[in-house]
Structure 1
Amino acid sequence: MKNLALLLVSAAILSISSLNAQTKKMETTKPTIIFVHGLWADGSSWSKVIPLLVARGYKVISVQNPTTTLENDIAATQRAIAVAGGDVVLVGHSWGGFVITEAGDLPQVKALVYVAAYAPEKDETVVSLSEKAAPTQLASYFKAEGGFVSLTREGITNVFANDLSAQEQELVFAVQQPTSPDVFKGVASKVAWKQKPSWYIVASEDKTINPDLERLMAQRAKAKTTTLKSCHVAMLSKPNQVLEVILEAANQASN
């Protein structure tokens, strides 16, 4: 009887240990979510989505792009991937989509999420991509200073963050990072969406990137597409809906 009791106790301990190991494995298989912001923005543009992911147990990194050249922004994202130290999902907004298309070819990257973002084909630039749809009024709100370009307050209000509150628009204007014109010289050389599962959020009220161009890029990337009635900064306008798309990508990356 004693031997039987010992066997039962040992079996119970092994079962508990196995369950704990499986639980730990499940916890550690969640990919890190890496956010890559666009031009005239910074890492705080994801401030509404980050807490929602952290509350669900995800590790998050929000890259601070220098927005000086494509190469420099790719390097910043690659450093974030190295810091993550495991599987990642890259989420790019606007110009950030160009960056994750290049940086996303690394084996650690399991999925790509484009939020009103550029998803270039090989040899394309922002300029050549933009010619595939009617132009927006964005360029009329540029302000050059010291070799860098910023958006005027009116640009933030009218075409960039047009459906946010006045208070939120002021914050977007205050934290924007000036952009070097050199970023527009960047030429796509790697196209990660051809190899990686991709999701795309079209912002139907976007006045920065033509929504028709967004739909075109999503279609040719064969991305699972969600359309939100939102301005260009959909993650600030519709954070919960953006979260749902990111979670779907992250869940697939975990399987």
Structure 2
Amino acid sequence: MFKLIPAMLAAALAVALSPAAQAGDATSAHHGAQVKNVVLVHGAFADGAGWRPVYDDLTARGYRVSIVQNPLTSLADDVRATQRVLDRQDGPAILVGHSWGGTVITEAGDHDKVAGLVYVSALAPDAGETTAQQYAGFAPTPEFVIDTGSDGYGFINPANFKAGFAHDATDADAAFLRDSQVPINMTVFGTTLTKAAWRTKPSWAVIATEDKAFDQTMLIHMAERINARITKVAASHAVFMTQPTVVADTIDRAAREAGQPVR
């Protein structure tokens, strides 16, 4: 009997070292692994450069971060811009949207590379809804004033910019955001979504409690409707710039909690 033990061990070892067994171990190792890719999607008026503080924080933590530059010409164009960046990811990613970017990630987030969604003071419509419908029944915010030109593109009124968008930023940072605005085609708010990724993907939300672009009850309503795990922070609409650590912490949490096998 004792002479059989080496033979039995050899057979067991051969099975353990077989390609099938090794593939199984690899699959097991990937299961539940932390997501290491993050894709950041800006909203209206401020472009991807505003994500720099969050980018710096996340890359210092070891994340591979990509930033989408939305053209803000149509929902379809912004979704395609986001999908192009998602296509380049080498594994699952956390998709993050600020403000109008929330609508974009809601439509684009059904991409097979997306493991989870993070809404940063962001809009979260459902399929069959428009972005404009999210405002119905909520109080207007008088500090946030949009000037719409004859071509249908809107800018935040310069005189109201700091109060409405970035009251907690330095004067210099608020002035830079004001003077580097990217206008948005205002018709995008009337475009009906065809998909709602939050219905199938886990979601997190950062709500800036001093946001003057949205009624607070509107932000909370949207975040609760999508069953997001909510983090609140005292900040303006420019929370991505003024509270980057809180935003990065939420993205980090999403990456750890939404871990899944590489697809």
User: Is TM > 0.5 for Structure 1 vs Structure 2?
Assistant: yes
Q: How many angstroms apart in 1 are the aligned matches of 2:136 and 2:106?
A: 19
Cα-to-partner distance string for 1:225-251 (whole Å, 9 max, x where unaligned) = 011111111111111111110100011
Q: 1:84 to 1:205 in 2, by over 3 A?
A: same
Tell me which residue corresponds to 1:233. 238
Selected match of 2:137 from 132, 135, 153: 132
Q: CA deviation at 1:158?
A: 1.4
Bigger fraction of residues in helix: 1
Q: Which amino acid letter does the alignment assign opposite residue 119 of structure 1? A: A
Q: CA deviation at 1:112?
A: 0.2
Cα-to-partner distance string for 1:162-181 (whole Å, 9 max, x where unaligned) = 11110110111122101112
Q: CA deviation at 1:145?
A: 5.8
Q: How many angstroms apart in 1 are the aligned matches of 2:54 and 2:121?
A: 15
Q: How many angstroms apart in 1 are the aligned matches of 2:210 and 2:163?
A: 11
CA RMSD of superposed structures (Å)? 2.1
Q: Which amino acid letter does the alignment assign opposite residue 43 of structure 1? A: G
Gaps of 5+ in 1: 1-13
Query: Is 1:185 the equivalent of 2:190?
Result: yes
Q: Give the count of matched residue pairs.
A: 234
Does the 8 Å CA contact 1:141/1:154 hold for their aligned counterparts?
no
Tell me which residue corresponds to 2:67. 62
Gaps of 5+ in 2: 1-16
Q: Secondary structure at the match of 1:254?
A: coil
Does the 8 Å CA contact 1:88/1:111 hold for their aligned counterparts?
yes
Tell me which residue corresponds to 1:41. 46
Tell me which residue corresponds to 2:12. none
Query: Is 1:171 the equivalent of 2:173?
Result: no
Cα-to-partner distance string for 1:58-109 (whole Å, 9 max, x where unaligned) = 1111100000100000000000100113211100000000000011112210
Q: Secondary structure at the match of 1:48?
A: helix
Q: Which amino acid letter does the alignment assign opposite residue 74 of structure 1? A: V
Q: How many angstroms apart in 1 are the aligned matches of 2:145 and 2:253?
A: 37
Q: 1:30 to 1:221 in 2, by over 3 A?
A: closer
Tell me which residue corresponds to 1:113. 118
Q: 1:241 to 1:38 in 2, by over 3 A?
A: same
Kindly name which structure, 1 or 2, has the bigger radius of gyration based on alpha carbons: 2
Q: Report the TM-score, using the length of structure 1 for normalisation.
A: 0.86
Q: Which amino acid letter does the alignment assign opposite residue 76 of structure 2? A: E
Does the 8 Å CA contact 2:144/2:163 hold for their aligned counterparts?
no
Q: How many angstroms apart in 2 are the aligned matches of 1:106 and 1:37?
A: 18
Q: How many angstroms apart in 2 are the aligned matches of 1:171 and 1:234?
A: 15
The runs of at least 4 aligned residues of structure 1 exceeding 4 Å deviation read none
Q: Secondary structure at the match of 1:231?
A: coil
Does the 8 Å CA contact 2:72/2:185 hold for their aligned counterparts?
yes
Q: Secondary structure at the match of 1:49?
A: helix
Query: Is 1:31 the equivalent of 2:36?
Result: yes
1:78-89 to structure 2, matched below 5 A, reads: 78-89=83-94
Q: Which amino acid letter does the alignment assign opposite residue 241 of structure 2? A: L
Q: Which amino acid letter does the alignment assign opposite residue 199 of structure 1? A: W
* Percent of aligned positions that are identical: 37
Q: Report the TM-score, using the length of structure 2 for normalisation.
A: 0.83
Does the 8 Å CA contact 1:31/1:253 hold for their aligned counterparts?
no
Q: 1:107 to 1:134 in 2, by over 3 A?
A: same
Q: How many angstroms apart in 2 are the aligned matches of 1:150 and 1:222?
A: 32
Q: How many angstroms apart in 2 are the aligned matches of 1:190 and 1:138?
A: 32
Tell me which residue corresponds to 1:201. 206
Q: Which amino acid letter does the alignment assign opposite residue 113 of structure 2? A: Q
Q: 1:149 to 1:250 in 2, by over 3 A?
A: same
Q: Secondary structure at the match of 1:157?
A: helix
